[in-house]
Structure 1
Amino acid sequence: MDNLEILIPLAPFIMVVCIVCIPLWLKSRERREMQATVRAAIEKGQALPPELIEAMSKEVKPPKESSALRDIRVGVILIAVGAGLAVLGLMLGHVEDEALHPILGIAAIPALIGVAYVILSFFNPNKGVRPQV
């Protein structure tokens, strides 16, 4: 029974490690198998189809460039998250008086980051660039 009592507090940490590590391991295994297939085809002298080359290069995502429109979108989403947390604080404030101020403090963090994004969008040099979806 002592072993189970040790695992219970460690369960959230083990879960996070599993959520992060298992997809990374599966993706690397898939890439290794694809590379082995390509190597075998090259060793046999077969030409690689353009669809295969395109599929292999599609997985590599170019970094998203910052634009004013993207900054505004991120800012509005963060302001909405802050507003949602503030409403939660107001609702909980009716039930428990001491819950209002800490939750409003927590709500201020994403909201103020969102305001900073919106302000920075006015100074972004890439104003006319539409973000890649």
Structure 2
Amino acid sequence: MKLKLLLTLLTFLIPLQLLARTENPEIRVFDFEGTLLKTISLKNYGWTQTGDIKVADLGTDGVPEIILSAPAGAKPYIKIYRLDGSPINELLIYPEAYLGGINLEIADLDQDGYKEIITGATFGGGPHVIILDSQGQV
């Protein structure tokens, strides 16, 4: 089976894990040895791909979460999942009519020990940056 993988993120977690984007509308979570742990389907959201994919410990519990942003052409949502693929939260970031895609970054901007979710509109969205706390609140 020929499968083109675009490596989007390699991060060393406990245990070591890898995320890969495929040609199918899904996210696959692998351990560092290459064993598939979970597949997260994006078909239910009408996504054929994602914008950005990040992995970060938003809850400061030592367990990282997977954060996905909408691609161009999709409603402007951020989706947060546990590593087992179960959904945690879905956030509408910009007005639904905006279909330009979302840039995504995760950082502890105020150095309080909690990571913030930083979004930026792309493709005609103007200079819109929104910063959310780790719980998804502005």
TM-score (norm 1): 0.20
For CA contacts below 8 A with separation 6 or more, give which structure has more relative contact order.
1
Q: Provide the TM-score with structure 2 as the length reference.
A: 0.20
Question: Which of the pair is proportionally richer in strand?
Answer: 2
